Amino acid sequence: MHRTTLDSRAKREPEPLNPSALIQNQGTTPQRGPEVGQTIPYVQQQRVNMSNPAPRVALILPAYNEELTLGGTIEAFNLALPGAEIVVVNNNSKDRTRAVALEALEKCGAQGRVIDETRQGKGNAVRRAFLSIDADVYVLADADLTYPADRVQDLIDPVLAGAADMVVGDRRSEGHYASENKRRFHNFGNKLVETLVNRLFGASLTDIMSGYRAFSRAFVKSYPILVEGFQIETDMTLHALHRRFRIIEVPVAYRDRPAGSHSKLNTFSDGAKVLFTIAQILRFYRPLLFFGALGVMFALAGLITAIPVFDEWLTTRYITHVPLAILAAAPEIVAFLLLGVGLILDSVAYHERQRAELDLLKHDAPARE
């Protein structure tokens, strides 16, 4: 009896499809899942595509008394990046910079806004922008019409492709900066900074101080801005080198400011700040090299001071220059202390690098899930 039931079930013809069931299942696509015949909603199938919207690009324009050039800069970048958010950081401008920015944004129909930063300095302006803007790619440019807006996509593409964390618009490799810049000593200062950074940090960069850059979100959200002025570009580069972010340089054209527009950069005072920033970064990030070099200098000073003492000892086997001997010993003691400080701080810096790497991994984790 039991066998007969099984045979009859095996020979049973399939039931006809229910039209109402088809209507209820519209918008779904049958797929093979954990259970045979399981139905997965079409919306769920498209989740991967819907969860990857177009990347958000933000253009940052720090501006201090740039009413003559700001409008043209906004128009040029809006034409090159029509979907980007254009953010002007008004840094205590005394002219119509703020009004010009709002007028230009409205005229172009661009997405954007104006942020006010009362603390003077380009570093403070960039810091305010990084704190206020949430994007996938950040572009930094000057508001003085010196950088080509039509090359901005060349800076963004390596970041979007995951090939770089910071892309720098290189003004120097093709000679544009040297031919266009009319300010004395600027080329010498750029070359000096380039040489120091490449030698001290083992890099091979060409334009350390370019103000035309694109950044990944990971770079921006892990970069503590502690400088306030025009040394911000050098500080960005040193931070990227220390944290082992990937840097790509893209040659771009450069033209000097138009007539009537004046640079706020002071060759000597801002140049001194840049050199001081390099020394500070070296002290914080490479303490063994910094304090070790100071220790070698004090050790050499002590040896030079002790030459008459050594000569007297070798000649007469007596030391009559006792004060000089004590004076020569003092720098040697300082040299050993500096070496000890360098070793201790180098261990601290190493653990800080480990912590920064772990924080970076945590920051990237949600993007991979």
Task: CATH number of the domain at 105, please.
Answer: 3.90.550.10
- 22 located within any domain: no
Instruction: Evaluate whether residue 35 is within a structural domain.
Output: no
Say what the pLDDT of residue 210 is. Answer: 92
Average pLDDT value over all residues in the chain: 81
Pairing mode, if any, of strands 137-140 and 166-170?
A: unpaired
Same structural domain, 110 and 191: yes
**Total structural domains within the chain:** 2
State the Cα torsion 281-214-124-135 to the nearest 10°: -120
Is residue 15 domain-resident? no
Residues 250 and 362 in one domain: no
| Longest alpha-carbon distance in the chain | 127
Q: Let me know whether 126 and 215 are in one domain.
A: yes
pLDDT, residue 260, reads 59
Kindly state whether residue 28 falls inside one of the protein's structural domains: no
Q: What is the CA radius of gyration of the chain?
A: 32
Q: What is the pLDDT of residues 251-296, one digit of tens each?
A: 999 887 666 565 656 666 766 777 887 888 788 888 999 999 999 9
Domain end point (choices 255, 283, 311): 283
Element (DSSP H or E) covering residue 116: strand 111-116
135-173: pLDDT as tens digits: 999 999 999 999 999 999 999 999 999 999 999 999 988
CA–CA separation, 65 and 160 (whole Å): 33
245 and 319 in a single domain? The answer is: no
Question: What per-residue confidence (pLDDT) applies to 8?
Answer: 41
Domain boundary at 248, 283, 318, which?
283
Task: Take residue 201 and report the two structure tokens written for it.
Answer: 């940090």
Same domain, 217 and 358: no
Question: In sequence order, which residues have a C-beta less than 8 Å from that of residue 90 and are 6 or more positions away?
Answer: 63, 64, 97, 98, 101, 114, 115, 116, 117
Chain CA centroid to CA 257, Å: 25
CA distance 315 to 238: 52
| Residue 37 domain flag | no
> Which of the residues in the chain have pLDDT under 70?
1-52, 175-187, 257-268, 270-271, 363-369
Q: Within this chain, do residues 319 and 357 fall inside the same structural domain, yes or no? A: yes
The pTM score is 0.72
**Is residue 81 one of the residues assigned to a domain?**
yes
Q: Are residues 130 and 223 in the same domain?
A: yes
Q: Point out which residues pair with 87 in neighbouring strands.
A: 60, 113
275 & 297 share domain: no
Nearest CA to 85 out of 137, 124, 128 is that of 137
243 and 177 in a single domain? The answer is yes
Q: 275 and 324, same structural domain?
A: no
Same domain, 66 and 190: yes
In a domain, 18, yes or no: no
26 lies in some domain: no
| Domain boundary residue, one of 266, 283, 300 | 283
Instruction: Report d(CA 341, CA 183) in Å as an integer.
Output: 41
Q: Which domain holds residue 201?
A: 57-283
Do 279 and 316 lie in a common domain?
no
